[in-house]
Structure 1
Amino acid sequence: MATALFAAGCFWGVEAFFERLDGVTATRVGYAGGNIEAPSYEHVKTGTTGHAETTKVEFDPSVITYEQLVDTFFECHDPTTLNRQGEDVGHQYRSVIFYLNEDQKQIAQEKISEWDQKGIFKNKIVTEVTAEQPFYEAEEYHQKYFQKNGTLSCGIG
């Protein structure tokens, strides 16, 4: 199995989007990219910790490629809005690909160029491509939120 880390706004919707894919074996939501250890949602929601709401995706690369996951990442949010996804505003809702190795870094950078050239978005992609940061799992009530609560939002239909 392999792992990918994506931040694309509200992690509930991002998790729901990825867990539907064939080849994705597990998802967990949490926080990455910040400046304090083991933050809680109460810390992160203030926007002062530097963390982004992040989805950890475990996948079988013989079924789905990292390239396909990055494409899905760009399909599930607006990567052109800085520190914002819909009604969610703040540094914790920024668009980030946390790469785990040089191959992932290269693929992420190539995909940004590819998606910018497609002209699908009116504005340039502002997604950060950043080396893996410690990932802290969010509280249990955030995990599989839509499965537990029977609702979808964050633009996921």
Structure 2
Amino acid sequence: MVRRSLRISPIWLAALLCAVSLEIIACTGRFSGLGSAAPAVNIPGPAVDEPLATSSAPETAVLAAGCFWGVQGVFEHVKGVRRAVSGYAGGTEQTAHYDLVSTGTTGHAESVEITYDPTQITYGQLLRIYFSVVHDPTQLDRQGPDVGTQYRSAVFPQNDTQQRVAQSYIAQLNRASVFGAPIVTRVENATAFVPAEAHHQDFLNSNPTNSYIAINDMPKLDNLMRQYPDLYREQPVLVGAGSS
């Protein structure tokens, strides 16, 4: 039997790699390598947190952790989350547009506004998922292949209690050295959150085989399910479906 090996010309190989690279290019165009999802880290829960509420009046958290596609996609699978919207925080409403934010000069960070039921999940539990599964909080002004201040790790507390919980938790995790490097997550003043353009909403759910999503974000869903099975919901709550 004659064994035949597949031969690919250098030109075709270069074209293939170029096509894959273009599909994996970052959320807003700043790209520094193929990258991959940050590994999940087992971390303790927050020592300072609010107890579960007795009223289901919704509360809001705004978190930035790199490209908002994956951040939104993870929190859409968290029990107690009623809505997770991709958008912009940290700058002015006038500059909250994809093309402008992509320049890294607007002060905005790609962020996700999370509306949640405080009788089912606490702000501290959301932060635990944020720090351990959603991103690497030790990376400064970048996440994986995405580089720029618009991809910074930042928390935008919506009230004094959230600010106290966030600051205390960051200090707790730094003291425990759970990441092997200091957390660079910034606790920033709350600004108006502006939803991103419609085509950015539910992007992970709509494009699970997209190369960028498959490499950088789908592993985060596996980590969420594995590390927090009691908080994982199989059916996501989607912006486009108007779910609650």
1:6 is displaced (CA, Å) by 0.0
- Whether the 8 Å contact between 1:80 and 1:126 is mirrored in structure 2 is yes
Describe how 1:2-151 pairs up with structure 2 within 5 A.
2-35=59-92, 37-75=94-132, 76-151=134-209
Structure 2, gaps ≥5 residues long = 1-57, 220-244
**Residue-by-residue CA offset, 1:61-93 (whole Å, 9 max, x unaligned):** 000000100111101111111101001000000
Q: 2 CA distance for matches of 1:51 and 1:134?
A: 10
RMSD after superposition? 1.3
- Whether the 8 Å contact between 2:87 and 2:194 is mirrored in structure 1 is yes
Percent identity among equivalent residues?
Answer: 45
Q: 2 CA distance for matches of 1:77 and 1:150?
A: 18
Which stretch of the first structure deviates more once superposed, 84-93 or 115-124?
115-124
Structure 1, gaps ≥5 residues long = none
Task: Give SS of 2:184's match.
Answer: coil
Q: 1 CA distance for matches of 2:92 and 2:196?
A: 16
Normalising by the residue count of structure 1, what TM-score does the alignment of the two structures yield?
Answer: 0.95
- Whether the 8 Å contact between 1:29 and 1:56 is mirrored in structure 2 is yes
Task: Give SS of 1:131's match.
Answer: coil
Q: 2 CA distance for matches of 1:112 and 1:127?
A: 8
Q: Alpha carbons of 1:36 and 1:64: their partners in 2 closer, same or farther (altered >3 Å)?
A: closer
Q: Alpha carbons of 1:81 and 1:39: their partners in 2 closer, same or farther (altered >3 Å)?
A: same
Task: Give SS of 2:179's match.
Answer: coil
- Whether the 8 Å contact between 2:93 and 2:194 is mirrored in structure 1 is no
Normalising by the residue count of structure 2, what TM-score does the alignment of the two structures yield?
Answer: 0.62
Q: 2 CA distance for matches of 1:150 and 1:90?
A: 25
Give the number of equivalent residue pairs. Answer: 157
Q: Flag the structure with higher strand content.
A: 1
Task: Give SS of 2:94's match.
Answer: coil
